[in-house]
Structure 1
């Protein structure tokens, strides 16, 4: 009896660790990342283009596409990869006019998509199309405004504007450029920019105002920061000079998000407003960032795996039978008006919400060696 008790006590820590880890692997039917990802990716294949200003492939569509590609790669679904490639092919020919111009963070981030396709297919056409979107973020055009030239003079992107949205838009295309080329300059650019945004915009509670002149903790805006830091940290070497600052900002944010998670597992349209409506796109971005942090060892598994699991279990029921996510805040410019954020319309199937759900499926499926 005594031997059994000692064995039990010895195994207890390992059993607890297994239980916490399994919180991000063992899901009931209908909630597995394989099932959810397939539904969302198939919906994207049948969807129409979502255009920026009615002219160019928009960033929400780009991120949805990226999420579907990453999901396909992690599940070994080569047929899905081919279908996603086939959807892209007209952008070389009949839909070439839909390729975004390279003069704004919301447009340059499109480059992350052909770079993801290059990562998966090694087709050089994708590299040649995608890389200029990363390069031109640091190439100042002749007609740049004085403030844009000043940002460039300090070593930042001339597209800097100090909106928290930027820290996914800039980060993802620069990080993708590093992943495909191995050139340190791309990673250094993203890290330098991220540190500056952290220093300028992160508040003491770990969250972020939408912009310096808009003192509200908007959900999806903070989601862009959370996801951007997670993506950057995935590629940033442990000895990179900016990693400690970025990791500190990330962990401070995650601690605050844990505190603000609603009893239902979600986060609200304004994070610190407990009576406001739960918003899916921001909640999914936070969930993606937490899953990634737990799996990479940046966050304590015992403390954060339950938070991430509760969020995922809360998010999945917002997907309808057609694979469309509901309660998605529409595209939102900054405005120093609290009521403006509460009154934002909510849509079902908006790519702003579909994309981060796909990121979550990829994060849940990813195998990480810590």
Structure 2
């Protein structure tokens, strides 16, 4: 072999090595959850959305006029802003979020929801988060009382579930087998566990989650909006995805229900991966290509993917790539007022396909603002 041949082979080998390295780098970049183009980082986006929240009056489900009590979309956004403040060590933001709460101990006391329903009980997650960040006992007392009432004897007018015997089986009397519940119930119980270290709270949440998984999860890993409504509604499934991710984030592996929940979570994540659009979104009806890309569900699924990757439950290259694509597309829906667009309006269940396709697309709805903060927080977590 002459000198020129050897030189040529060496150059070819170097070129192949370079191409291989380049391909590896490109793949790594596609799944990178740390480096972001200017203006798209979780800290930049989180600041915008959190600042928008602290200057927004109490939400009445995107309807005019003030609410009678704090609504669950506001609770979810408040919780997201608090966790974002924690991860960014933003004392100023924390102070503003505390200031928003102070009137509830005084002139706005009637706005604290009576915890006789899952949508009201989830409010307890906010004072518990405030307690963990400030160590002020008044927040603990309020939050833990709500968590305890959720598993205490049935009280108040909403006791339909109790008559179905769930409470006697060790489940909360607020059980109703709506997929939304698996964030509303598990969020406050997981927070109570984080605040106290008392395993009874996380055990309750895990047992409840398994009950819902066994009753409601379909073989493809997704969930109908309700047993009598055979549609995979995006935000409904989003509550399950976020609920499982949040629960697993704190659930000890020694818990007897850990593996069952992890199986349900991974099955759902694998199914969601198949339905992500080429642009990175998920649709109002997950499996229907004719339905529209919807931001609240996309934010929720993105949070579940990010949390799975960060905790090592999901393959980084596969799900990291999907999460990055979703985040970068999702934030393009934020307008100049820092309001997310294309949020499905609040949706009661209805066995009518067209009903879901025709749902109003809200702007600035806290159902969509909250997941942005959850995602920003999850991206910043170690």
Tell me which residue corresponds to 1:111.
124
Q: 1:90 to 1:16 in 2, by over 3 A?
A: same
**Which of residues 23, 30, 33 is equivalent to 2:39?**
30
Q: Any idea what SS the aligned residue of 1:72 has?
A: helix
Tell whether the 8 Å contact from 2:154 to 2:162 is kept in structure 1 after alignment.
Answer: no
**Structure 2, unaligned stretches of length 5 or more?**
1-9
* 2: CA distance, partners of 1:243 / 1:17: 35
Tell me which residue corresponds to 1:159.
174
Q: How much does 1:247 deviate?
A: 0.4
Q: Any idea what SS the aligned residue of 1:57 has?
A: coil
The 5 Å alignment of 1:88-237 reads 88-141=101-154, 144-145=159-160, 147-148=162-163, 150-237=165-252
* 2: CA distance, partners of 1:140 / 1:21: 51
Q: 1:155 to 1:28 in 2, by over 3 A?
A: same
**Structure 1, unaligned stretches of length 5 or more?**
none
* 1: CA distance, partners of 2:371 / 2:316: 22
Q: Any idea what SS the aligned residue of 1:56 has?
A: coil
Q: How much does 1:22 deviate?
A: 6.0
> TM-score, structure 2 length as denominator?
0.90
Q: Which aligned runs of 4 or more in structure 1 are off by greater than 6 angstroms?
A: none
* 2: CA distance, partners of 1:146 / 1:193: 14
Structure 1 residue 249 and structure 2 residue 264: aligned? yes
* 2: CA distance, partners of 1:342 / 1:79: 42
Q: How much does 1:133 deviate?
A: 1.1
Q: Give the paired residue count.
A: 363
**Which of residues 260, 265, 279 is equivalent to 2:294?**
279
**Which of residues 97, 102, 122 is equivalent to 1:84?**
97
Structure 1 residue 347 and structure 2 residue 362: aligned? yes
Structure 1 residue 64 and structure 2 residue 68: aligned? no
* 2: CA distance, partners of 1:145 / 1:252: 32
* 2: CA distance, partners of 1:363 / 1:288: 7
* 2: CA distance, partners of 1:142 / 1:253: 34
Q: How much does 1:12 deviate?
A: 6.3
- Choose 1 or 2 for highest CA Rg: 2
Tell me which residue corresponds to 2:6.
none
Tell whether the 8 Å contact from 2:295 to 2:343 is kept in structure 1 after alignment.
Answer: yes
> TM-score, structure 1 length as denominator?
0.93
Tell whether the 8 Å contact from 2:161 to 2:173 is kept in structure 1 after alignment.
Answer: no
Q: Write the deviation string for residues 304-352 of structure 1: whole angstroms up to 9, x where unpaired.
A: 1111111011101000111100000111111222221111111100000
Tell whether the 8 Å contact from 1:281 to 1:353 is kept in structure 2 after alignment.
Answer: yes
